[in-house]
Chain A
């Protein structure tokens, strides 16, 4: 497939300022976006693809999408190649549009090096103005960490749906049942619900054993064309569908900590793959905390919203025992969460399952369709969600 003739540049805007002492960098990004939208005759809500590079302050696309209130984004790209990034983004946008991943892509660049020169750049000194992430001064001062921002999600989920610590504990119990067979797992001991709920409280209502491990290490993946795949002597794992979505407070109206971006990324991936949650034989579900798994299972449609606690209880996620075997490597909760980024190990274990190369004790019989889903950032503030559906090809 070629991008030739598949995409058009229909809006363009160059900011008129050359010296911007009175505008923040996020504001300059937003004003450029507004100018390009007006040039094209489109509105902010038409944007479903967003591209930015290293000049976007803070958490890259996540900070800027939330700052600008881009609520319909389903394709994101923060590829950073310095000054050439934005040309590359046009090419990537054309690819995404050609593939149906988005239809209106916004690319922004902005900065104010003339001001940073005077302020010394970076975090700045006391009393000086800085040019950091737009949310920084309003949020970063409150001691937010992954533990307590996910804790807020769990607290709200319990309040709205009656979810219990014992139900959350079942997620860790299932992961530990799988980890016992993984010789590389950081934690190999099987734990009980009682051990999880009696482990020390880290941040209400999350206990020590509700939290993932901290590990060094890493992982890698090779993705090839069908032509190359034919020449290689390995079982073929076909990519069937992919969905992505940002989620953030977006101006603070209707804050909803009980849902994740999976409510949008999931249906996109399922739709593209042409399968349903009930078709999934194995699921790798991002497990930074037990609550992460529970919310994402609900949002992906494996059970009704609010029923996650009942769904995960009594070993329903244990391979060979329950209906939805998950994280059969032991996941981030027991096996590995390399450099605090668990996304790649989620794909790797799904590949093992589809190849039939998982540990025999946890291998799902006839595992032909698998899902991997990840969350990056924090469910309690702003995050990027991604869903991937894969199929074994005979």
Chain B
């Protein structure tokens, strides 16, 4: 009991429904099924994030959606303390495939994050929208 109370609260954050465009709809449809997609270019072979119709590296339109395990390491982060709903963490994850993804880190104490830490994606429900990807330490 005492032990539990002494631990800092794990961070959560209520996340608003994302704006869904005709271009991003497949990503959010997959998110609803618990799948994390990134974009792969069949012309140059590179993966990129955020997903685009044309490859931001070679400008080919031969891009396709690819499911990712959503595993990687923290590139950087910052815990925002000036927040009425409690501290929350924003940061970039470098996916094992290479691209960096902006996200929130959840289910971790404000002092429990570090650069290089291994994290994995999970989906968090939103009100009136598809679930959104967030990351937690593994």
Which residues of A pack against B, CB within 8 Å?
A: 21-24, 26-27, 30-31, 33-34, 37, 43-44, 66-69, 115, 123-124, 126-127, 129-132, 134-145, 147-149, 151-156, 159, 200-206, 249-253, 255, 257, 381
Does B99 make an interface contact (CB < 8 A)?
yes
Pairs A–B under 8 Å by Cβ, sample size 20: A27-B23, A27-B52, A34-B54, A126-B129, A129-B20, A131-B21, A137-B21, A138-B18, A138-B27, A143-B104, A151-B79, A204-B77, A249-B100, A251-B52, A251-B57, A252-B101, A253-B57, A255-B92, A255-B94, A257-B76
Those 6 A-B pairs whose CB atoms lie nearest each other, nearest first: A69-B56, A151-B78, A252-B99, A126-B128, A24-B23, A251-B48
Q: How far is the CA of A124 from the CA of B22 in the complex (A)?
A: 13
Q: Is the interface of B mostly helix, strand, loop or mixed?
A: loop
Q: Which residues of B contact A200 (CB under 8 A)?
A: 81
Contact A30 B102 (CB under 8 A): no
Q: Is the CB of B132 within 8 A of A253?
A: no
Question: Is the pair B88, A143 in contact by a Cβ cutoff of 8 Å?
Answer: yes
Assembly CA distance A255 to B75 (angstroms) = 9
Chain A residues with Cβ below 8 Å from B28 are 137
A43-B59, A204-B79 in contact; A67/B52 too (CB < 8 A)?
yes
Contact check, B15 vs A130: say whether CB atoms are below 8 A apart. Answer: no
Q: Nearest B residue to A154 by beta-carbon distance?
A: B78
Q: Which residues of B contact A143 (CB under 8 A)?
A: 13, 15, 80, 83, 88, 90, 104
Residue of B nearest to A155 (CB): B76
- Find out whether the CB atom of A138 lies under 8 angstroms from the CB atom of B24: yes
| Chain B 1-45 near chain A by CB (<8 Å), digits 1 or 0 | 000000000000101111111111101100000000000000000
Say how far B118's CB is from chain A's closest CB, in angstroms: 16
Residues of B within 8 A of A205 (CB): 78
Residues of B that sit less than 8 Å from A by CB? 13, 15-25, 27-28, 46, 48-59, 61, 75-83, 88, 90-92, 94, 98-104, 115, 126-129, 132
Docked Cα-Cα span, A137 to B101, in Å, equals: 12
Question: Could you say which residues of chain A place their CB within 8 Å of the CB of B20?
Answer: 129-130, 137
User: In the complex the two chains form, is A159's CB within 8 Å of B104's CB?
Assistant: no
Decide: A152 and B17 in contact? CB cutoff 8 A: no
A34 and B57 contact, CB distance less than 8 A: no
**Cβ of B103 and Cβ of A142 under 8 Å apart?**
yes
Contacts of B100 in A (CB 8 A): 249, 252-253, 255
- Inter-chain CA distance A130–B50, complex, in Å, is 17
Contact, CB under 8 Å: B15 / A141: yes
Contacts A69-B57, A137-B20, A255-B100; A147 near B82 (Cβ below 8 A): yes
CA distance A352 to B20 in the complex (A): 48
A346 to chain B, nearest CB (A): 25
Question: In the complex, given contacts A26-B23, A124-B19, A141-B15, what are 7 additional A-B residue pairs having Cβ atoms less than 8 angstroms apart?
Answer: A126-B128, A127-B128, A134-B21, A156-B115, A249-B100, A252-B99, A253-B57
B50 contacts A138, C-beta separation under 8 Å: yes
Q: Is the CB of B98 within 8 A of A141?
A: no
Q: A24 — which chain B residues lie within 8 A by C-beta?
A: 21-24, 53
A251 to B53, CA, bound (A): 12
B98's partner among A136, A140, A253 (CB-CB below 8 A) is A253
